[in-house]
Amino acid sequence: MRISAALALLLTALTASAQVPDLILMNGKVITVDDRFSIAQAIAIQGDRFLATGSNEQIARLAGPGTRRLDLHGRTVIPGLIDDHIHLLRAVSTWKRELRFDGVYSRAQAIDMLRARVKAAQPGEWIYNLGGWMHQQFKDNPEPFTLEELDRIAPANPVALQESYYQVFLNGRALHALGIEANAPDPPDFLKGSIQRNAAGAPTGIVKSDISATRAVANHLPKVPAGELEASAAALVKDMNRAGLTSFGVPGCDTATLDIFQKWHAAGTLTARIFCIDGTAAASPDQVAAMIDQIAPLRARLFQGDSFIDHISFGESVYSPLHDPMFALKSDPRPDQLEQWRKIAREIAKAGLPLHVHAELHDTINAFLDQIEVINPEYPIHNLRWVFAHLNQVDASQLERMKKLGMYAAVHPWAVINGAFMPDMPPFKTIQESGITWGLGSDGTAANDYAPFNTLQFAVTGQMAGGAKVNRQTISREDALIAHTRKNAYIIFQENNLGSIQPGKIADLVVLDRDYLTIPATQIHDIKPVMTMVGGRIAYEIR
C-alpha cells in the first residue's frame, strides 16, 4: 500500500504539467514544510490535491481559462495543522454550552465573557467550562476566581469554571445545586478531601485535586441535548478550523458522535479529519483475562476508512491502574500491575495492532519500555508505529530505547496552561536531538488549551500561556512546525496524504495574518488564521 501511494505521488508530479489547476494561490510566502523546508510563492490546486508549488511565474503558466485565482497579498501559508491527540468527539457533548477561555489572556476579558453569558442565560441555567485554561494565563491579574466574585456576577445562575483537570471554581448557586453545604457532610460522589472548606466548615467554592475531583463536578453538569449535538459538533469544528487545525488523532471515538461526522463526510461538508484511537482499558486482572480474546478482532476495523475518517490504533490506555495521574510528579508501577499491562500489550503486538498509549512519568515510561522489550523478540513491534503519548518526563536514554524499538513519540505539553505545576517539561531539545519521529499535540480540550499557536510558542520559547517562562528546553520554529504538521502525519498514518504542501498531497492549508517565521517568538500565540482550507475548499475565512 505504501509503494502504490508513493507511485501515485510520483505519477501526479509527472503529469502535473499536463493538468490544469482549478485554483491558484499567488503572491504568498508558502512554508511548504517539505523535506527541505522550502519556501514557495504560489500554489496550484486541482480537485482536493496540490498540483504544484513554485514561483508566481511558474504557477501562473499552469493556469487555464477556468482557473480561479486568489491573491495572498504576501501572506504566509502553512500546511493544515494536525493535533495528534485531542479528545475532540468527547467535547461535542458540551462544546455548545461551554464558556471557553482557551487563548484568553486577560482576566478582565474572561469576566466580560462571563457577564455576557449570564445576561443571555435563563435564571437557574448552568454556566460552565470544562478545562482548557488556568488563571495563571491572565496577564492583567493572574488571580483565581472567588466565590463572592462569582456570586456578584451570577446571582441567579450556578457557575462552574474548571481549570484544566486541577480545580473547579463554583459560586453559591452551584454549591447548592451540587449538594455541597456548610454544616453537612460532603456528597458521597465527590473525591474525599476534594471539597475545600474554611475553618468554620463552610465550602470555599473550590473543588480540587486531580481528574477524579473535577469529574465529580462535571458529571452533574447538563450536557448538550441530543437534538443539538450536531450544532455543537459544527461549532466545535468551526473553532478548530478557526484555530488552523484540520486533522486530529482522537482518543475515544464514540459511535453516535462519529455518525455526525460520517453524515457530513457523505454530504461532502466535513472539514475536520478524524483518526480514531479506540479501545477500552482493563481495570483489573479479571478484566484483563476477559479482554484478551477481544483484541485480535479489533484489527479488522482499522484502516477501513479514508483520509477523512478512519480508525488507526488501540489506546489511549491499556491497564488503567498504570494510567499516570495528571498532576503526579512520580509514579511507582508495581510488578503485578505491569504483568497485566504486558499481557494486553503482548496481545496487541501479536494481533499486529498499532498502539497509542498514555505514558507520562519517568518511571512509568521505563516500566512500559521494559515490558515492550520483553514482548518485542516474540512479536516485533517495529512496523506497528507504537506511540507513547504525552511523555512530559521522557529522557534521552528512554528516547534511544523507543527509537531502537521503532516507536514514535506524541508530545503534549500540558505545561502550556499547567506550567505552574510542571516545571521544565517536556524536554523538547532532547526529544528533537534524539532523532525520533515525534509529533506535537495538545491533549485538549480539558487537560490543555487546544490552540496550536499557543503550543508552538511554548515549544519555541518555553513560555506558558500568559508569558511566564516555565521550560528551559526549547526548539526552533521550523522544528516545532514540522512536529505539528509533517511528522504528525506519521502518527495518524497519513504521511502520504497530509502534513506538507507538496504536489500530490491533499490541499489542507492555513493562511496566516502574520509571518510565523519572522515575527518575535513571543507573538507566535497571537497569530490568527485568516483562511483555512480543507481538501481544496475554504473551511474558514475572515471576511
Rounded CA-CA distance 386/492 in Å is: 11
Residue from 525, 524, 529, 527 nearest 539 by CA: 529
- Three-state secondary structure call for residue 262: helix
User: Which stretch in 139-147, 257-265, 358-366, 506-514 sits in contact with Zn ion by CB under 5 A?
Assistant: 358-366
Closest CB to Zn ion among 251 and 529?
251
Closest CB to Zn ion among 169 and 319?
319
Backbone phi, then psi, for 424, in 5-degree steps?
50, 45
* Closest CB 85 distance from Zn ion, rounded Å: 7
User: Which stretch in 3-11, 254-262, 352-360, 379-387 sits in contact with Zn ion by CB under 5 A?
Assistant: 352-360
Rounded CA-CA distance 483/532 in Å is: 19
Pattern 4-43, Zn ion, x by CB under 5 A: ----------------------------------------
Closest CB to Zn ion among 114 and 211?
211
- Three-state secondary structure call for residue 146: coil
Neighbours of 363 (CB within 10 A): 13
Select the residue whose beta carbon is closest to Zn ion and give its number. Answer: 358
CB 63 within 8 A of CB 31: no
* Closest CB 316 distance from Zn ion, rounded Å: 5
Residue from 450, 481, 443, 477 nearest 461 by CA: 477
**Contacts with Zn ion: how many residues (CB under 5 A)?**
1
Residue from 407, 415, 473, 416 nearest 438 by CA: 407
From 135, 311, 358, 487, residue interacting with Zn ion (rule: CB under 5 A):
358
Residue from 246, 145, 185, 293 nearest 511 by CA: 246
Rounded CA-CA distance 2/9 in Å is: 11
Q: Taking the CA atoms of the chain, what radius of gyration do you get in angstroms? A: 24
Residue from 126, 133, 130 nearest 150 by CA: 126
Question: How would you write 313-332 as a 3-class SS string?
Answer: EEEECCEHHHCCCCCCCCCC
* Closest CB 325 distance from Zn ion, rounded Å: 10
Closest CB to Zn ion among 353 and 447?
447
Q: Alpha carbon of 446 to those of 163, 421, 450, 451: distances in Å?
A: 8, 16, 9, 12
Closest CB to Zn ion among 14 and 328?
328
Closest CB to Zn ion among 346 and 358?
358
* Closest CB 193 distance from Zn ion, rounded Å: 24
* Closest CB 146 distance from Zn ion, rounded Å: 31
Residue 215 is which amino acid? R
Closest CB to Zn ion among 33 and 211?
211
* Closest CB 98 distance from Zn ion, rounded Å: 20
Sign of CA pseudo-dihedral 168, 172, 178, 183: positive
* Closest CB 265 distance from Zn ion, rounded Å: 26
Closest CB to Zn ion among 32 and 455?
455
* Closest CB 390 distance from Zn ion, rounded Å: 6
**Neighbour order of strands in the sheet with 245-251:** 81-83, 245-251, 273-278, 309-316, 355-359, 387-390, 408-411, 438-440
Residues 215-254 that bind Zn ion (CB under 5 A): none
Pattern 310-349, Zn ion, x by CB under 5 A: ----------------------------------------
User: Which stretch in 151-159, 176-184, 356-364, 527-535 sits in contact with Zn ion by CB under 5 A?
Assistant: 356-364
Closest CB to Zn ion among 157 and 445?
445
**Contact flag: residue 412 with Zn ion (CB under 5 A):** no
* Closest CB 389 distance from Zn ion, rounded Å: 6
User: Which stretch in 4-12, 181-189, 285-293, 357-365 sits in contact with Zn ion by CB under 5 A?
Assistant: 357-365
Residue ranges that bind Zn ion, judged by CB under 5 A: 358
